[in-house]
Amino acid sequence: MTKTQDYPYLRAWCRYMGSHQYYTDIQLEHAREENAPVTAIYRDIDEDGKSHWHTFESISREDTRETIRKMVEG
Protein backbone atom coordinates (compact mmCIF):
# COMPACT_ATOMS: atom_id res chain seq x y z
CA MET A 1 0.00 0.00 0.00
CA THR A 2 1.34 3.38 -0.94
CA LYS A 3 1.40 6.45 1.28
CA THR A 4 -1.45 7.93 -0.76
CA GLN A 5 -3.65 4.92 0.07
CA ASP A 6 -2.76 4.11 3.68
CA TYR A 7 -5.04 4.82 6.64
CA PRO A 8 -8.25 5.28 4.66
CA TYR A 9 -10.36 5.56 7.82
CA LEU A 10 -8.20 8.34 9.21
CA ARG A 11 -8.44 10.17 5.89
CA ALA A 12 -12.23 9.73 5.83
CA TRP A 13 -12.55 10.86 9.46
CA CYS A 14 -10.56 14.00 8.75
CA ARG A 15 -12.76 14.79 5.72
CA TYR A 16 -15.87 14.12 7.82
CA MET A 17 -14.61 16.48 10.53
CA GLY A 18 -13.67 19.17 7.99
CA SER A 19 -9.97 19.08 8.85
CA HIS A 20 -7.45 21.04 6.82
CA GLN A 21 -5.06 19.00 4.70
CA TYR A 22 -2.04 19.98 6.79
CA TYR A 23 -3.74 18.52 9.89
CA THR A 24 -4.57 15.30 8.03
CA ASP A 25 -0.96 15.05 6.85
CA ILE A 26 0.31 15.43 10.42
CA GLN A 27 -2.08 12.76 11.66
CA LEU A 28 -1.00 10.41 8.88
CA GLU A 29 2.63 10.98 9.79
CA HIS A 30 1.92 10.11 13.43
CA ALA A 31 -0.06 7.02 12.41
CA ARG A 32 2.81 5.76 10.24
CA GLU A 33 5.45 6.47 12.89
CA GLU A 34 3.42 4.77 15.61
CA ASN A 35 2.17 1.86 13.48
CA ALA A 36 -1.40 2.76 14.32
CA PRO A 37 -4.12 0.23 13.49
CA VAL A 38 -5.22 0.36 9.86
CA THR A 39 -8.70 1.46 10.99
CA ALA A 40 -7.34 4.36 13.12
CA ILE A 41 -9.40 7.54 12.92
CA TYR A 42 -7.72 9.86 15.43
CA ARG A 43 -5.43 9.83 18.42
CA ASP A 44 -5.46 11.19 21.94
CA ILE A 45 -2.42 11.93 24.05
CA ASP A 46 -2.77 10.94 27.71
CA GLU A 47 -1.29 12.88 30.63
CA ASP A 48 1.87 10.77 30.40
CA GLY A 49 2.36 11.82 26.78
CA LYS A 50 1.43 8.42 25.32
CA SER A 51 -0.69 8.12 22.20
CA HIS A 52 -3.98 6.26 22.19
CA TRP A 53 -5.51 5.59 18.78
CA HIS A 54 -9.27 5.50 18.36
CA THR A 55 -10.49 3.26 15.55
CA PHE A 56 -13.44 3.00 13.20
CA GLU A 57 -14.77 0.17 15.34
CA SER A 58 -14.96 2.50 18.37
CA ILE A 59 -17.41 4.90 16.70
CA SER A 60 -20.60 4.53 18.71
CA ARG A 61 -23.07 6.21 16.35
CA GLU A 62 -24.26 3.92 13.57
CA ASP A 63 -25.02 6.84 11.22
CA THR A 64 -21.47 8.16 11.63
CA ARG A 65 -20.01 4.68 11.03
CA GLU A 66 -22.11 4.33 7.89
CA THR A 67 -20.99 7.75 6.59
CA ILE A 68 -17.32 6.91 7.20
CA ARG A 69 -17.75 3.43 5.69
CA LYS A 70 -19.22 4.95 2.52
CA MET A 71 -16.39 7.47 2.31
CA VAL A 72 -13.81 4.68 2.58
CA GLU A 73 -15.51 2.40 0.08
CA GLY A 74 -16.01 5.23 -2.40
Domain locations in the chain?
8-73
Confidence of residue 74 (pLDDT cuts 50, 70, 90): confident
pTM: 0.90
Q: Are 15 and 71 in contact (CB under 8 A)?
A: yes
CA angle 14, 19, 25 (to 5 degrees): 75
pLDDT of 5 higher than 90: no
In tens, the pLDDT along 7-64 reads 999 999 999 999 999 999 999 999 999 999 999 999 999 999 998 999 999 999 999 9
Q: At what angle do helices 21-33 and 8-17 cross, to 10 degrees?
A: 150
Q: Are 67 and 41 in contact (CB under 8 A)?
A: no
- Alpha-carbon distance of 19 to 5, in angstroms, equals 18
Longest CA span, the chain: 38
